[in-house]
Amino acid sequence: MNRRDLFLLSTVMGLTAALPKISNAKSQQGLPKPLLPPAEGSIPVAFLLSDNAVVIDFAGPWEVFENVSIPGRTPERVFQPYIVAETAGPIRASGGMTIIPEYTFATAPAPKIIVIPAQGDPSVAMLAWIRQAAQSADLTMSVCTGAFLLAKTGLLSGLSATTHHAAYTQFMMEFPDVALKRGARFVESGKLASSGGLSSGIDLALRVVERYFGRSAALNTADTLEYQGQGWMNPDSNMAYAKRRISTDRHPLCAVCEMAVAKATAPSAVYRGKTYYFCMTDHKEVFVAHPAKFLAG
């Protein structure tokens, strides 16, 4: 028996019946407009990757979509995930993982869901592809600092979004026309959605499953994955990151990302008589360019 057969058997045996007890923690009240699945066929999910793509950002949501099973629906594979990149060449993801994309921008099927993980700086062609593909997609979602890439398309202008908590201040500075939401596990803004850092992408993907097929389907998918997190039921469940951390002489933090630094070796800059420390030279340069804006953010 292969893994998919085992998962399907678990579904048939009634695992879902035991799970609604878990869902009482958060009702479906406030759920955004449902997404309508096609009457037949799979839902194509494009994972947009380039070098330095963060593995958990795309692998987590991939496994969510890969393991959705709706009894009685044909085909069994409800979502059809695939990788799209600017070229067909190998992609070097985080940790050295090498990935060969299935499609390029020129050959990719039209997606109904677009997943944008944290990765390297986007090319002009990548931004153009997102803008074009998002027009006919049901949802375009970012994970972690993939929100920067999505914001660079202009599609988030005037809307709300979130990103990794260490990037809040930088995101607000770079995209003042986007309302950053601190402490959000994910944010849904019409046909766009963004999640917080890393594992938050799993929760946003489960939320997408719920919007297409209901809470029972999402609960069963979470059970299949042995995923105990319930953040997907509450978009405001990242409140631990809502409050800005304070740097002190004893425990200095990077002025940009709030990461702990060692004063003896950290890059530093003086602004209005106060010394600020940074985890990397790039963050120092960003701060020095607009120190007042950083401190205000």
CATH of the domain at 225: 3.40.50.880
The reply to whether 237 and 254 lie within a common domain is no
Q: What are the 10-residue block averages of pLDDT along the chain, 297 residues in total?
A: 42 40 42 89 97 98 97 87 98 97 98 98 98 98 98 98 95 94 96 97 98 96 96 94 90 92 95 93 90 77
In a domain, 63, yes or no: yes
Q: Rounded distance, CA 177 to CA 196, Å? A: 19
Last residue of a domain, one of 241, 263, 284: 241
In a domain, 265, yes or no: yes
Range of the domain at 112: 29-241
What is the amino acid identity at position 183?
G
In a domain, 285, yes or no: yes
Crossing angle between the packed helical segments 3-12 and 215-224, to the nearest 10 degrees = 130
In a domain, 90, yes or no: yes
Last residue of a domain, one of 214, 241, 268: 241
From the centroid of its chain, how far is CA 11? 27
Q: Rounded distance, CA 219 to CA 34, Å? A: 16
The reply to whether 252 and 159 lie within a common domain is no
pLDDT at 68: 97
The reply to whether 226 and 250 lie within a common domain is no
Buried b (16+ CB within 10 A) or exposed e, 99-122: bebbeebeebeebbbbbbbbbeeb
Rg of the chain over Cα atoms, rounded to whole angstroms, equals 20
In a domain, 287, yes or no: yes
The reply to whether 65 and 123 lie within a common domain is yes
Report the relative pairing of strands 98-99 and 160-161 from DSSP bridges.
unpaired
The reply to whether 154 and 270 lie within a common domain is no
From the centroid of its chain, how far is CA 6? 28
The reply to whether 267 and 214 lie within a common domain is no
The reply to whether 94 and 190 lie within a common domain is yes
The reply to whether 128 and 273 lie within a common domain is no
The reply to whether 278 and 228 lie within a common domain is no
The reply to whether 108 and 147 lie within a common domain is yes
In a domain, 157, yes or no: yes
In a domain, 11, yes or no: no
pLDDT at 26: 40
The domain tally of the chain equals 2
Last residue of a domain, one of 241, 257, 287: 241
The reply to whether 163 and 185 lie within a common domain is yes
In a domain, 21, yes or no: no
The reply to whether 227 and 265 lie within a common domain is no
pLDDT at 35: 97
